[in-house]
Amino acid sequence: DYARLAKDMVDKGARALKFDPMQGMDTFIDTAQFNQAVEAIRLVREAVGDDVELMIDVHGRLSPDNSIRLARAVEPYRIYWWEEPIPTDASMDDLARVARSINIPVVAGERLYTRWGFRDLFEKRAAAIINPDISHQGGILETKKIADMAHAYYISVNPHDASGPVLTAASIQLEAAIPNFLIHEFFSIDIPFYEEVIKDPFPVITDNNYIELPTKPGLGIEIDESALSKRPYKYVDLGAFWASHDEWRETTDRK
């Protein structure tokens, strides 16, 4: 229930929400799937009101034409961004065509590598926002160079952060050092993992939804290795994410 979950998060203090309303869909969608996604977005906007930003993550699943068609259909719901709108094996020209064809800023880059991987995106104006992942790019310094390149094209930066508190700590150090930082997104409000494996409270979020920059040396955090050892690596088939919600839950519950 997208609308219920969205309202719950807003009640907990969230002022921007990102979600994928296309669970179980593939590259080419039929009318029923199209309407399902549009309705999910409509219901979320209705539930949270006009003061909350809504970001849509397509997770690279739609063809360029389907992505354009769906984005245009949900433009009335004031979508803040349209993330990974097409498959990553599509061309940069395809991504640029999507960006030119819709009135929602396109986000891309979490699966690109190094500044050379981003050069074509910048030159073709294929995105308004990039989301480089520090853990993929070669660290903070390489990602800083990518952000500096983006600045010259008036492209903002939203570092991709879906891998835990160490990446969060690295990302906010980068964000404090670049002028084109846009917003930080991560899993925190309803997931206790950070509190369990980091010795001090992290991240510290202010009343107006800013993250306080740590002042300790390095990344500013200290890992509780004893607590972390209680969470050993566990393989999850992320391919199941493209299945329906029930199929995905059944797959992950078996792992």
> Among all residues, which ones are annotated catalytic?
59, 160
Question: For the chain, where are the alpha helices, taking DSSP H only?
Answer: 2-11, 31-48, 64-74, 92-101, 114-123, 134-137, 140-152, 165-175, 193-197, 225-229, 245-254
Decide: helix, strand or coil at residue 82.
strand
Residues 6+ apart with CB under 8 A from 191: none
Q: What phi-psi label fits residue 218: left (phi over 0), alpha (psi between -120 and 50 degrees) or beta?
A: left
Distance CA 197, CA 227 (A): 5
**Quick one: which of 32, 35, 100 has its CA closest to 64?**
100
